[in-house]
Amino acid sequence: MSELLKFHFDVDGTDFTSAGQASVQVKKNLRQLGIPPEIIRRVSIAMYEGEINMVIHAGGGEADVIVTETAIEIRLHDHGPGIKNIDQAMQEGFSTATDTIRTLGFGAGMGLPNMKRYSDDIEIHSELGVGTDIIMRVNLT
């Protein structure tokens, strides 16, 4: 599985208003590559949710998007507080978001479920006090 292209982004954890910028850029890049719209849509949704989570729950982080001949892989990395109980966090509606964040339309507890639904494969590694790593793959074939 050879790597054709790689995009790297620093996700700013202090600026709410620009959250989602990396995902919007990835969408543009994938369009230019001629990736099918339905695949782009799934990558965009999965990455946006991951990006937002890094902003609202982890104080920012890094995102890498790797395009190979067979898949698009999204790697998210942060040094936030970590996820205490991943099974619980994966449940629709579970959220620890504050009221302030909810008034902005976030914190519906649908982020991780959306990431799972719209990717073909998701791996989550998280350690309390250390951070969270998430790898998602959307297959091209």
Partner 1 sequence: MTVSELIEKAGFKAATLPEPDKEITGVYIGDLLSWVMGRANSGDVWITIMSNMNILAVASLADTACILVAEDVELSQDLLTTAKQKNINVLLTELGAYEAAVKISKLI
Residue ranges binding Mg ion (CB under 5 A): 53, 111
Q: 28 and 9 in contact (C-beta within 8 Å)?
A: no
Per-residue contact track with ligand ADP, 7 to 46, x per CB under 6 A? ----------------------------------------
Cα 14 to Cα 22, 28, 33, 84, 110: the distances in Å are 15, 24, 31, 23, 22
3-state SS class at 125: strand
Residue numbers 24-63 binding partner 1 by CB under 8 A: 24, 27, 37, 41, 44-45, 48-49, 52
The Cα–Cα gap between 106 and 109 comes to 8
List 42, 57, 75, 137, residue binding ligand ADP (CB under 6 A): 57
Chain positions contacting ligand ADP, by CB under 6 A: 49, 53-54, 57-58, 78, 80-83, 89, 94-97, 106-113, 132
